[in-house]
Chains A and B, each alone.
Chain A
């Protein structure tokens, strides 16, 4: 199974970015092979509107079945839900930290959007 983490860096030690729609990159981690790939989200970082929806599309295309991020707005929440992607929110400082918490089953599933949408 693959998990998408929002980040501004290039590896597991990089910080977990608190934004979903406007996250600079997604780190897609494969739990089975322990390998990861990076997907640039610069285009959405620059998208003024609908960034959450487009980021959700990007994550869905990557094949990830879960997202770990800081906060999730209403449009992204709806879009990820429709794609059958589970959303976890975390304030872990790094991707590795969030991954550990996930493995320990300590991340909480987001039941609703926890921030108001940006336009």
Chain B
């Protein structure tokens, strides 16, 4: 069972929820951190990295001895990653989307693909929680290939909790796609509502079953509740606005350790998700 924890708006509590669910389900769980631009799950779990895998993406490399400068690769590339100037095509790896088209269209087989590092996968074992975390290299634009590599580590035998990146664009789609259930975390504010509605549009388009968790209940107004009611979206859990939770978070302490009564709420949440699937 794969459960993705996502949200339109950042900072609503995705990581908090992911880490706490994983800790509660340990050892029958695997935690994936797919927020590869800002991976934070490890900050709330002890344990050293025991395996580090460099993730490459494939970019074209031109064999100049074979190339006949016909320019077909440059004409084909939809992403303008190859330009035909002078006598040899020029490759701009940062523009490449790894489609492999240039290799296929080259009439003289002068193009091969070579790996270019874009980030790392770090594996940790912490108090019964195996964590697989992606970490995008600085200056690399495209996160989805790394996210797909993190997801390739999924252990299908167990419950998988995935901490997704914020938003609704490519990296989130790459993360949430083929999850069995998605939890959308939000907060009861106008920003929270606006971004929740966007995220709902996304999961509906993907056809993934979902429910909402409202974090910091009490800080804003009732519009998120009204929206969920009107849209017939289940509110799976409400986490109260509690200074103890905020302080624990700021120090990297899991909520279920700092505020033990929350354990039961997270357990209820998980049971609701399991019943839905």
Count of A interface residues, CB-CB < 8 Å:
15
Pull 23 A–B residue pairs with CB atoms less than 8 Å apart, ordered by A: A49-B95, A50-B80, A53-B80, A53-B83, A53-B90, A54-B83, A56-B83, A56-B85, A57-B85, A60-B85, A75-B92, A78-B90, A78-B92, A79-B83, A79-B85, A79-B90, A80-B85, A82-B85, A82-B86, A82-B88, A82-B90, A83-B86, A119-B141
| Residues of B near any A CB (own CB < 8 A) | 79-81, 83-86, 88, 90, 92, 95, 141
Smallest CB separation, B143 vs chain A (Å): 14
Smallest CB separation, A49 vs chain B (Å): 7
| CB-based A-B contact count at 8 angstroms | 37
Residues of B within 8 A of A79 (CB): 83, 85, 90
Interface string of A10-36 (1 = CB under 8 A from B): 000000000000000000000000000
Residues of A within 8 A of B79 (CB): 50
Q: A83 to B129, alpha carbons, bound, how many Å?
A: 55
Known: A49-B80, A50-B95, A53-B80. A83 touches B85 (CB 8 A): yes
Residues of A within 8 A of B84 (CB): 57
Smallest CB separation, B67 vs chain A (Å): 13
Residues of A within 8 A of B85 (CB): 56-57, 60, 79-80, 82-83
B83 touches A57 (CB 8 A): yes
Interface status of A93 (Cβ within 8 A of chain B): no
Nearest chain-B residue to A78 (Cβ)?
A: B90
| Residues of A near any B CB (own CB < 8 A) | 49-50, 53-54, 56-57, 60, 75, 78-80, 82-84, 119
Residues of B within 8 A of A56 (CB): 83, 85
Kindly list 16 other residue pairs between chains A and B, CB separation below 8 angstroms, not including A50-B79, A50-B80, A57-B85.
A49-B95, A50-B95, A53-B95, A54-B83, A56-B85, A57-B83, A60-B85, A75-B92, A79-B83, A79-B85, A79-B90, A80-B85, A82-B85, A82-B86, A83-B85, A119-B141
A53 touches B86 (CB 8 A): no
Nearest chain-A residue to B82 (Cβ)?
A: A53
Q: A60 to B80, alpha carbons, bound, how many Å?
A: 16
Residues of B within 8 A of A53 (CB): 80, 83, 90, 92, 95
Residues of B within 8 A of A75 (CB): 92
A84 touches B86 (CB 8 A): yes
Nearest chain-A residue to B88 (Cβ)?
A: A82
Nearest chain-B residue to A83 (Cβ)?
A: B85
Residues of B within 8 A of A57 (CB): 83-85
Q: A60 to B88, alpha carbons, bound, how many Å?
A: 14
Nearest chain-B residue to A50 (Cβ)?
A: B80
Nearest chain-A residue to B85 (Cβ)?
A: A83
Residues of B within 8 A of A54 (CB): 80, 83
Residues of A within 8 A of B80 (CB): 49-50, 53-54
Q: A60 to B85, alpha carbons, bound, how many Å?
A: 7
Smallest CB separation, B83 vs chain A (Å): 5
Nearest chain-A residue to B80 (Cβ)?
A: A50
Smallest CB separation, B174 vs chain A (Å): 20
Residues of B within 8 A of A49 (CB): 80, 95
